[in-house]
Amino acid sequence: MEFRNRLAAAACLAALAVSAVPAAAQTLPGEREAMVAAIPGVVAAGARWEIVAASFNNMDGVVGTADGGVIFAQEQTSTIRKIDAQGQESVFIADTHGAGSTSVDAKGRLFAAQRTCTDPGLHLGPACLERTMVAQLAPERRMLANGFADGRAFGRLNDLVADGKGGAYFTVGGAYHVSADGVVSVVADQDIRSNGIMLNRDGKVLYVTNNTEVLAFDVQADGTTRNRRVFASLGGDTGGDGMAIDEAGRLYVSASSGVHVFGPDGKALGVIPTPRRPITIAFSGPGKKTLYLVGGGAVGPDGKAWSTPEGVRNTAMSLYKLPMLAEGFEGRPK
């Protein structure tokens, strides 16, 4: 109960959960120019990002839904929220114990990285006693694991992707796998600065961002991995984060300057500039030909870039969408 009360108090610092906003005809405060150049088969020249919604709380782990909308985790309100194709927002799942990332497999099972009370903005320190967890939240709730194989707590979890077999791969410093029966194994825990994590179309290759590059691992039948290698470089860009794949097997990687697009062979195809530094991306919309992106920052009700008092963490985010030539992978939600 104390954890929920603190989350509610933190949410009150921002008077708005998620609000729909009109499409912008020009750059909004806090945004940057995002002139899209053509990437053959991926995006047309001149395609424009449209702002869909803004939140003064977090929006992470965005996943497309069958009706053309998206869901995302909002850690501060301990909910998973949905924005439908018409831009209407609703609570999709409540009481998520601070879920900070989501993933949905081909069977519709929803998994989350539950960060509990570890939000730095709560300043709980030693008072944060609830362990973070990798869990399934739908269609039924069950914890997969709340610590490493040696018993150590995970700490503040980052991202995850469902493995399609009832388990998930996740990042927290390094990269790891938890099976459907709760067995945690190491993907990589040395010389890695992980963040985003994603599987290719057939689930046989695991991608993990490593700040300035993307690593690849071969997935074995039991979920363990081998053959670590560099799949692609971000070409001097930093902060590799959320990822998505399309029907052609291309990999999309968000980083500081925008969304990098790579062929299945790791060849760099181009970069889609974004109005804000991107955090998480996913395909959705009609024909799964719309790329949704969450970027850091938002515009407040006064029309200015949202800011917080000194010492209060600014978790404001904005959701955008971009028409694409490429089609998102139909084999699973993401």
The per-residue pLDDT for range 77-89, each reduced to its tens digit, is 999 999 999 999 9
- Mean of per-residue pLDDT scores for the chain: 93
Q: What is the mean pLDDT of residues 158-162?
A: 98
Q: What is the mean pLDDT of residues 146-173?
A: 97
CATH number of the domain to which 80 belongs: 2.120.10.30
Distances (CA, A) of 117 to 56, 97, 110, 151, 158: 18, 8, 21, 19, 14
Assigned domain for 331 exists: no
Q: Which domain holds residue 306?
A: 2-323
Burial of 325 (0-12, 13-18, 19+ CB in 10 A): middle
Assigned domain for 329 exists: no
**Residues 212-262: pLDDT tens digits?**
999 999 999 999 999 999 999 999 999 999 999 999 999 999 999 999 999
pLDDT at 24 over 60: no
Supply the pLDDT for residue 9: 40
Instruction: Report residue 37: phi and psi, to 5°.
Output: -95, 155
Supply the pLDDT for residue 187: 98
Assigned domain for 160 exists: yes
Assigned domain for 85 exists: yes
Supply the pLDDT for residue 121: 86
In the chain, the number of structural domains is: 1
Taken in order 302, 307, 312, 316, the sign of the CA dihedral is: positive
Supply the pLDDT for residue 259: 98
Assigned domain for 301 exists: yes
Confidence of residue 13 (pLDDT cuts 50, 70, 90): very low
Assigned domain for 286 exists: yes
Contacts made by residues 67-71, CB under 8 angstroms, sequence distance 24+: 68/284, 68/285, 68/286, 68/290, 69/284, 70/282, 70/284, 70/292, 70/319, 71/102, 71/104
pLDDT at 150 over 80: yes
Determine what percent of the chain is predicted with pLDDT higher than 70.
Answer: 93
pLDDT at 125 over 70: yes
Assigned domain for 332 exists: no
Confidence of residue 25 (pLDDT cuts 50, 70, 90): low
Assigned domain for 334 exists: no
